[in-house]
Structure 1
Amino acid sequence: MTTPNELRLLPWSGSGDKPCYLSTDDPDGYMSRLADSIEAIQLGTASELLEEASEALDSQGTSLDDMRCLVKELTGALRDVYRVAASRGHLLTTSDPREPTY
C-alpha cells in the first residue's frame, strides 16, 4: 500500500465535490487504469474545446449565448485539467525527477 503522502488524486470528485484519492501500489490495477482512461478523455475534451474556442473567437457570427455556453464548458474542462495536473505533479514530487531511473 502507498503511504498517505503518496495517494493519487483521482480525476473525479466525491459527494460534496470533495476530492477522491486512490491508495495502491499497483499502477496497472483496475482503478489506476480507470483513472488513467478518464484523465485521457478529460485531456482530449479540453483539447477539442480549445480548438472550438479558437474558432469561435475568430468568427464574427458567434452569438453571445454560444460564447457563454463555450465558456461554461471551458471552465469545466479547465477544472478537470487542473485536477489532472495536480495529481501528476504530486506523483512527480514523490520521486526526485532529477535522479536518473535505470
Structure 2
Amino acid sequence: MTSLGFRFGNVAYCTDVHSFPEETLQKLQNLDILIIDALQYQVHKSHFSLSEALEHIELLKPKQAILTHMHIYMDYDTLLWETPAHVEPAFDGMKFFSVALNA
C-alpha cells in the first residue's frame, strides 16, 4: 500500500502508514517534530500500531513526536503515561511551534 507523507523543513507528517521504505527512512532523519500514525494497540494491515509507531520514533530519533490518527479507544492520559517524555498523543485543536517553519 502506498501512502503520502510530507516534510516541511524539520517537521514531518506521516499518517495512514504501516511501513517506510528505506529511501523514506533516510528522508525522515534529523527531524524536530515527527507526526506519526498510531491507530491502536493491535497490529493493523494499513496503520502503525502504538508499538510500531514507537519503534519508528526510536529509530528516527526526532526531538518530539506526536501520535495521531488514533482510534477512539486510545485514551490520551493513558498514552501520556505509556510513552516517553518526547512523545505525546495529538488532540483536536492541537497547535505546535517549530522554529524551522517560522524562520
- Larger strand proportion of the pair: 2
Q: Work out which structure has the larger RCO, using CA pairs closer than 8 Å and 6 or more positions apart in sequence.
A: 1
TM over 0.5: no
- Larger helix proportion of the pair: 1
Query: TM-score, normalising length from structure 1?
Result: 0.24
Structure of higher CA gyration radius: 1
Query: TM-score, normalising length from structure 2?
Result: 0.23
